[in-house]
Amino acid sequence: MRLVGGDQPAAGELEQRDAQTVLGMVERLRNRGLRDAERAGRGADRTVKVDGVEDFELTETHSAILGAAARGAMTLAQGGCGERYVNPVSLPWRNGKQPEGGLDGDVKYSLPRWRVTNWLTRTGRPVSRAIHVAQVSTLYSSLAIFYSAAIATLMCAAAIWWRHQTPLFAVWLGLEVGTIGLRIALLNRDRKAARCGAATGTDLYLLMTALWAATLGYGAAITTLSGDYAAAIVVNIATACIAGGMSIRYFGAPRFVLLVCSATLGPMAVAAAFAGDPVLLVTTLQAPLALFSMAQAAKRLNGMMIATMEAEQAHAHRAAHDPLTGLLNRTGFMQAAAGRSGIGGTLFYLDLDGFKPVNDRHGHEAGDQVLREVAQRLVRLAGRHGQAARLGGDEFALLAPVLSPQGIERFGARIVERITAEAFMLDGATTRIGVSVGAAAMGEGDAIGETLRRADAALYGAKTRGGGRVRLAA
């Protein structure tokens, strides 16, 4: 990607806004669903105005992405997602990271936006955003429990209405049909949107679930007060079983479990207290115990899930990062770079010049200090959309977005300047080291291993020519 007209940006400037600019364009095209945006994918107009700031000329890769995103936006607007839809959140240039997924891998559901629903899906324990997404995802899982409960409540409402045929039971049946129908519609819509990478109506889904729980509580209450003990036994057993199922299905949000189970069992317990039969007071006394047990079970399951996910995250972080510098290690870097192979990039392979004498003269602790400082400088150079790594010893790598050959030379020169120009303070004295850089362009679909091999060969060429320079791979 390059600017149309005017001066070319300095090395490092373009890669700072390259990905973010295209990402912003994709987001706007998707959200607005502009039909004429597909022309960008066809190459009819290869320049795009971005927020009135600058005109960008699209590469073939970026043009294809924009076209796919525009087509996806139009398809989404028509009620589907389409196989060609591109989720901007998961585009591979975003620091090589995969999107935060819930329990369904890459399928994720939007976090609640309303204050009350957001509070209901939290436990009071601080967790990462990825874990919060996983907690919300559990609310959409266990469909067998969902449909079994829906069928059971419809059967109860229909049977009791047929038995009594009074307005109260007709209202219950109507509420069950309406809330269950809306819940199924919202569930299917959100699951489809999540698969497409679009926003989901999590707040409405939670609201309708709570309303459905209240309709079940209403049905249990009016049945208990009707004096028809046979009907009350059928409905109250079903109500208690469904409340238990909800405590399992919604364990990812214990506060929400307490809400829906209270809405289900609470009216039944209150009705039992006013039914006029002292025996039914046992139900009134048992309800708080049942609620406490369900809430505690959900909280315990939720805690186990959080502990497991945090352990997995910590293990994955340790496996992919260098403990000394905090950068990605070779394994993590290869994984991150492989995630960007579809968009391409530029790989810089670095080897420090004169590092061994630092270790010999000042000791390994001083050498570690130098490595940490080099890592910090590379992170600043990489910016938001680059990726720095320590491959081992005094070898580092930096993956940047696609650059022209001239841009590669300029950015490589900046790396050399940033490492060599600033001295390192060791034992109260300043020390300078050099760096040699090998660079290789990674095209669409190129294997990261082959790109790394070419960059390594270029690095060897830079070292044999005296070091302190950049060499571009053929």
Residue-number span of the structural domain to which 35 is assigned: 2-90
Q: Which residue has the higher pLDDT, 116 or 57?
A: 116
337 and 385 both lie in a single domain: yes
Indicate whether this model's pTM tops 0.75.
no
Mean pLDDT throughout 192-198?
Answer: 90
Query: What mean pLDDT do residues 323-333 have?
Result: 92
Task: Judge whether residue 75 has pLDDT over 60.
Answer: no
Across 2-6, 122-126, 345-349, 368-372, least confident range: 2-6
Position 95 scores a pLDDT of 37
What is the three-state SS of the chain? CEECCCCCCCCCHHHHHHHHHHHHHHHHHHHHCCHHHHHHHHCCCCEEEECCCEEEECCHHHHHHHHHHHHHHHHHHCCCCCCCCCCHHHCCCCCCCCCCCCCECCECCCCCCCHHHHHHCCCCCCCCHHHHHHHHHHCCCCHHHHHHHHHHHHHHHHHHHHHHCCHHHHHHHHHHHHHHHHHHHHHHHHHHHHHHCCCCCHHHHHHHHHHHHHHHHHHHHHHHHCCCHHHHHHHHHHHHHHHHHHHHHCCCCHHHHHHHHHHHHHHHHHHHHCCCCHHHHHHHHHHHHHHHHHHHHHHHHHHHHHHHHHHHHHHHHHHHECCCCCCECHHHHHHHHHCCCCCCEEEEEEEEECHHHHHHHHCHHHHHHHHHHHHHHHHHHHCCCCEEEEEECCEEEEEECCCCHHHHHHHHHHHHHHHHHCCEEECCEEECCEEEEEEEEECCCCCHHHHHHHHHHHHHHHHHCCCCCEEECC
Q: How confident is the model at residue 36 (pLDDT cuts 50, 70, 90)?
A: very low
CA distance 95 to 342: 13
Task: Specify if 67 maps to a domain.
Answer: yes
Is the residue at 95 inside a domain?
no
What is the average per-residue pLDDT within 263-271? 95
For residue 46, is it within any domain? yes
Domain end (from 291, 315, 339): 315
Residues 310, 376 within the same domain: no
Same domain? 57 vs 7: yes
Q: Is position 30 within any domain?
A: yes
* Residue of 356 and 221 predicted with greater confidence: 221
347 and 420 within one domain: yes
Q: Is 236 found in the same domain as 350?
A: no
All residues at 6 or more sequence positions from 243 whose CB lies less than 8 Å from its CB, including other chains: 260, 261, 264, 265, 290, 294
Tell me, yes or no, whether 307 and 164 share the same domain.
Answer: yes
Residues 287 and 153 in one domain: yes
In a domain, 321, yes or no: no
Considering Cα of 238, then 242, then 245, then 247, what sign does the dihedral take? negative
Q: Domain containing 366 — which CATH number?
A: 3.30.70.270
CA distance 384 to 267: 54
Q: Final residue of a domain: which of 315, 340, 370?
A: 315
Residue in the block written with tokens 């270029």: 458
Based on the structure, what is the number of domains in the chain?
Answer: 3
Same domain, 134 and 207: yes
- Domain membership of residue 100 (yes or no) is no
| Percent of the chain at pLDDT exceeding 70 | 77
Question: Do 86 and 125 reside in the same domain of the chain?
Answer: no
224 and 119 in a common domain = yes
- Is 147 domain-assigned? yes
Q: Which of 75, 90, 105 is the last residue of a domain?
A: 90
Residue 144 within any structural domain of the chain: yes
Mean pLDDT of the chain: 80
- Shared domain for 307 and 161, answered yes or no, is yes
pLDDT at 71: 46
**154 plus 219 within the same structural domain:** yes
